[in-house]
Chains A and B, each alone.
Chain A
Amino acid sequence: MTLQVHAIPAVSVGLDAIDWDDGAYLLRYGRPTGAPELDASLERVGMLNPPLLIRGKTGAVIVYGFARLEAWRRLGRKSVQARVVSEGAASDEDLLSAAIDDNEATGGRRLNVIEQAMALEKLADWAGPDKTIQAYLPRLGHKPSRAVFEKILGYRALPQGLQVALADGRLGEGMAPTLRLLEPDDQELLLICMETLRMSAGTRRDFAREAAEICRRDRVSLADLLAEAEFDPAAAPLAGETPHVRAALLAWMHKRRYPILHQIESDYAAAHAELELCDALTLRHPKDFEGDEFHLEGRVKNVEDLRKVVGLLADRLEKRRPLLERIFETRWRE
C-alpha cells in the first residue's frame, strides 16, 4: 500500500488534540528546536505545506511537520490545517516513507546522517532489512548495499556527543570507523581535543586515525597517550598559540605512530647532511623508501654552476664512497 498524501484533504485540527510526546515517526536529531527563521516565515505566509497526522488512541500523532507544528504552537495558534490519516488506514512503513519524502523533497531539508540512521532503524523493524536496503537507501542518496546500511546504523552506537557532532557536521562521516577503534570515553576526549585545537577536517581525520591506531596497537588509553604528549585537551592554548601547539601535537603523534619510518627518515637525513652536498644538490630517497629509485636533484643557472656541481659529486664519489653506499642501502636496525 502506498499512501497518497495529497489525496487527503487538510482539515482543521486543534493543537491540544495532538499527542506531542509520541515520536514514533520523528526524524530529528541534533537540530535546535526553536528556529526564529521558521517562526518568522510562518508568521508571514502561514502554513503552506500542511503537516501529516494520524489518529491514535491518545490523540493525533505527528507523522511529519514536527518543527512547523512546534513553531505554530510557539506563535500561540490554537488550531492548524493538517492532513489526517485515519487509524489503521496506513502502515507504519508508509507513514515513515511519507515523512522521509517530506524531509527530503517537500521540506527541502536533507536528513542528517543520524536522522537517516533513525529512519533506517525504524524501517528495518517495519519493512525488514532487505526492503529497507533496496528501496530506502537509494531514496536517502546511498547505494543499496548491506555494508552501507550497517555502516549508517552503526552511527547510532556512538556516544551521544559524537552523534550530535556527526549530525551537525562537526565530525565527518568518514571518521566514524576510526572512532569505533576507541573506547567511548576516548571518543569524546578525541572530539574535545580536535575542537580545542581547531583542526580542519583533513587534519582531524589523520589525527584521529593515528591516535586511535596507537591506542589499539599499544593498548593505551587516549588520555594516557595525550598525557605522554604532555597535552591537556581541556586547556585551550593561549591566544595565537593554537597553530603552534596543534602542529607540535600532530608531529608528535605521527612520530609515535610510525617510529620505524621516523627513525629511517632521521638516519637518512643525518647521512645526507654528512655527505655535505651544496645547497643546490639533493639526493632524494625513493618514496617511503620502497624500491631503488633515488632522485638526484640539482639547481644550476649556468655552465659554471654545472661544473661546480659535477665536481662536487666527483669529489664525494671518490672521498665518501662508503657513506654514499650506506645511503643507497638504507637499512634499519632495532
Chain B
Amino acid sequence: MHPPIHTIYVEDSVRSAPVTRRVLERKSGGAKVEFVADGREVVRRFEMGRGAQGRGKRSLLLSDLRAEPIKPCPGTPRSLCCRYEILNFATGCPLECAYCILQDYFSNPLLIVQANSDAFLAAAGETLRARPDRFFRLGTGEFTDSLALDPLTDYARLLIEFVRDFPNAVLELKTKTASIEGILGIDHGRRVVCAWSANSERVIAEEEFGVASLEERLGAAGRCEAAGYRLAFHFDPIFHYDGWRDDYRRAVERIFEKIRPESIAWISLGCFRYRPGLERVIRERFPLSSHTYGEFIRGSDGKMRYPQPLRIEMCRQMMQWIRAAGGSDVPAYLCMENAQVWQGAMGRAPRDSAELGRWLDAACQD
C-alpha cells in the first residue's frame, strides 16, 4: 500500500539520485512535486504549529541533508537500555498512531529521507569498518517506520544489501505495515531481523491509523519467516485498560500460532510512557483517545509512566503468556525499564545496559 504522500519536495542536489527517481516514478498521480535548492527551507515551513503534524506526515522531503548515519538510541536515564544503534536513513513517520512519541520528540513532523543513498551508506560503512571489534545492532525503526515508505523508496533493499557485507552488524527493520514486497527474494545473509510492533487488536483498531492489522502483520511475518529472515516482535507500548489481559494474551497467542518460536530473535515489552508534552498533542490530535487518562506518575526520567507495581504486573503477565504460548526460549527484554521492573517481571535483571546489549547481540548471531 502506498503511503498517502501529497507533496514531495526534492533537493536539487538529489534530483537524479536513484531513490529520487524511484519515488517520482512510483508516486501517486495526485502528489505534487516541488524542487528546492535547500531542503532546510522546507524544514522551516513545517516548524511546529497546530496543523503542521498532519501536513508534515503527508509531505516528503528527499534530502541531501547530512544526518549522522549511525547514532545510539537515546535511551532514558536510570533505565536499562538495549544499546541499539539507529541507522538514520529517514525521520518522521506517515503512519498515525495516537500515542506516537515522535509527535512530541521531534520539533518537525516532515518526512525526510536521505535520498543520496550512496553517500549515506558510504558514511555508515565507514563507521562500521572503523570498529571491527564492535558488534552493531542497527535498526531503522526508532525515528520512522522502517517499511512505511518502502513502496515508494525501496530503501530497505539498499539497507539489506549494505548490511549483508558487514560481519559485525545486523539490521532490524521494525514496522507496523505489511509492506514487505521489496525485501522478499533478496539475499539477506541472515543479517537482518524483520520486526513488527505488536499490540492488542483493540489498541490497533482504536489508536493506530493507516497501519496493518495484527493478522496482516503476522501474515507478512510468516512470509518473511519463509524467506529465511529472523523475526522479532515489540509489544511497545502496552496499555492498561479494562480487558487488557484477555486482549494481550490473545495477541501473544496469535503470534505463536503463526510463527515458530525458533524464528524469533527477540520479543521486547514496554509499557506506555511519554514525555509530559505528548499529552497535549494526543488530546488535540486524537480527542477520542483515552489512554492519557490512565494512572501515570512522573518517573525518575521525567516521563509519565504507569506506577511501577502496575508495570511489573503487566510485564510479568506478558512473560507468562509468552512462555505458555511456547516462547520459553525466546529472548525477551524490557525496553527502557529499571532494574526493579526487570527483577519483578522477569525474575532477573541485567547488571547494566552493556550486559543487556551483549545478550541481544548474541541472540541475533548464528
Residues on A close to B: CB < 8 A? 146-147, 150, 177, 181, 213-214, 216-217, 219, 257-261, 264, 288-292, 329-334
The distance in angstroms between the C-alpha atoms of A264 and B309, with both chains bound, is: 8
From the candidates A217, A288, A331, name the one contacting B297 in the complex (CB within 8 A): A288
* 7 CB < 8 A contacts A-B: A260-B310, A288-B297, A289-B307, A290-B300, A292-B340, A330-B308, A330-B309
B77 at the interface (CB under 8 A from A): no
Q: Are A288 and B50 in contact (CB under 8 A)?
A: no
Determine if B309 and A332 form an interchain contact, defined as CB atoms under 8 angstroms apart.
yes
Interface-forming stretch among B9-17, B56-64, B288-296, B351-359? B288-296
Chain B residue with the shortest CB-CB distance to A145: B49
Within 259-311 of B, Cβ neighbours of A (below 8 Å) are at 280, 283, 290, 293-295, 297-300, 305, 307-310
Is the C-beta of B344 less than 8 angstroms from some C-beta in chain A? yes
User: Are A258 and B295 touching (Cβ within 8 A)?
Assistant: yes
Candidates B295, B313, B339; contact of A331 at CB < 8 Å: B313
Contacting residue for B283 out of A181, A219, A259, A333, CB 8 A: A181
Judge whether B344 and A288 touch: CB under 8 Å: no
B286 vs chain A, min Cβ distance (A): 12
* B7 in contact (CB, < 8 A): no
- Are A216 and B312 within 8 A (Cβ)? no
Which residues of B are found within 8 Å of A332, using beta-carbon distances?
A: 307, 309-310, 312-313
Given contacts A291-B300, A333-B313, contact A146 B294 (CB under 8 A): no
- Residues from chain B with Cβ under 8 Å of A288 in the complex: 297-298, 307-308
CB distance from B250 to the nearest CB of A (A): 17
The reply to whether the CB of B320 lies closer than 8 angstroms to some CB of chain A is no
Of all chain B residues, the one with the shortest Cβ separation from A287 is B297
Q: Is B338 an interface residue (CB 8 A)?
A: yes
Q: Which residues of A contact B78 (CB under 8 A)?
A: 291
Residues of chain B within 8 A (CB-CB) of A331 are 309, 312-313, 344
**Across the interface, which residues of B come within 8 angstroms of A329, CB to CB?**
344
Residue in B280, B293, B309, B310 whose Cβ sees the most chain A Cβ within 10 Å: B309
- Complex Cα spacing A46 to B340, Å: 75
> Lowest 7 CB-CB distances: which A-B pairs, in order?
A217-B293, A332-B309, A288-B297, A213-B293, A146-B49, A292-B340, A216-B293
